[in-house]
Amino acid sequence: MSSETISSADYIKHHLTNWTYGQFPDGHWGFAHTGEEAAAMGFNAIHVDTMFWSLSLGFLFIWLFRKAAKTATTGVPGGLQNFVEWIVEFIDTSVRGSFTAKNNLVAPMALTIFVWIFLMNFMDLIPVDVLPRLAAEIGAAVFGADPHHVYFKVVPSTDPNATFGMAIGVYLVVLFYSIKIKGVGGFTAELTMQPFQSKNTAVQLIFIPINFLLEFVSLIAKPISLALRLFGNMYAGEMIFILIAIMFNAGLVMGIFGGFLQLGWAIFHILIITLQAFIFMTLTIVYMEMAHHDH
């Protein structure tokens, strides 16, 4: 996909459009050829590129850590084992510092969240035109598709469907343990008996709907904040890379300047992609801690 053949606005729009498969308004199923067709599919659609990269990176994580576990030795560790042990120790320290209850699920879940999200975020460091252009050439050569109608986003965490999917998954686990540990009555009491309390029964009955409204908003805000924080930061980072890429077609001077900007932003972005994975993991641990203890 080259910005020489289309306008800058179309270039940006193309790079921010997912490869979408779904049901068209007339009832047949297929791949969307434009952003408008993808939008018209509505809920009956799947972002193929998001699913491909998220699942591929998930399997990469499992394969690497399984390989490290199978080849682990008590002697001098190799590079892979040393790297994996460092990550596991880092996650273990984070869990011990934030989670005081006993649950064997929390540490593996935290490890999976951190590494998986980091790998998805790391795709943002690949030059924005490399994989989409390769996909366009393959689509044109194999399927005879118009290269301008081949969409291929490679950063799953810039898709709100992916971030909300992960956040809702964490949310459901937190709800499960909230009810399992506290019981239905205890969980209901947390939603209705705080923050306003009174020894007067009549006044307390008045406080119940107010408490429920406040606590329900707080409960719903957890997955929304998890999803939007990750999506917003990664989407903004991807947008900056795309804007910098446009500069390469604005002349030699702007191209050199864009190269320095891209390098500087990529170095800074390493911190962002790591921090966003860490924040998502840490908030998950905190939410699990809250689920295991009464207020």
Candidate ranges 180-194, 243-257, 263-277; pick with highest mean pLDDT: 263-277
* From 103, 133, 229, 249, the catalytic residue: 229
User: At 252, which amino acid appears?
Assistant: L
What is the pTM (predicted TM-score) of this model?
Answer: 0.90
Over residues 74-102, mean pLDDT: 89
229 catalytic residue (yes or no):
yes
30-50 burial code (b ≥16 CB/10 A, e <16):
ebbeebebbeebeeebebbbb
Over residues 55-80, mean pLDDT: 89
CA 124 – CA 153 distance, rounded (Å): 10
Over residues 79-91, mean pLDDT: 91
The pLDDT tens digits of the residues spanning 217-261 come to 988 999 999 999 999 999 999 999 999 998 888 788 888 888 899
State phi, psi for 211 to the nearest 5 degrees: -60, -45
Nearest residue to 33 via CA among 143, 154, 123: 143
146 vs 224, higher pLDDT: 224
Is residue 285 very low, low, confident or very high in pLDDT (cuts 50, 70, 90)?
A: very high
Q: Is residue 3 pLDDT above 50, yes or no?
A: no
Q: Is residue 278 pLDDT above 90, yes or no?
A: yes
Q: What is the pLDDT of residue 295?
A: 63
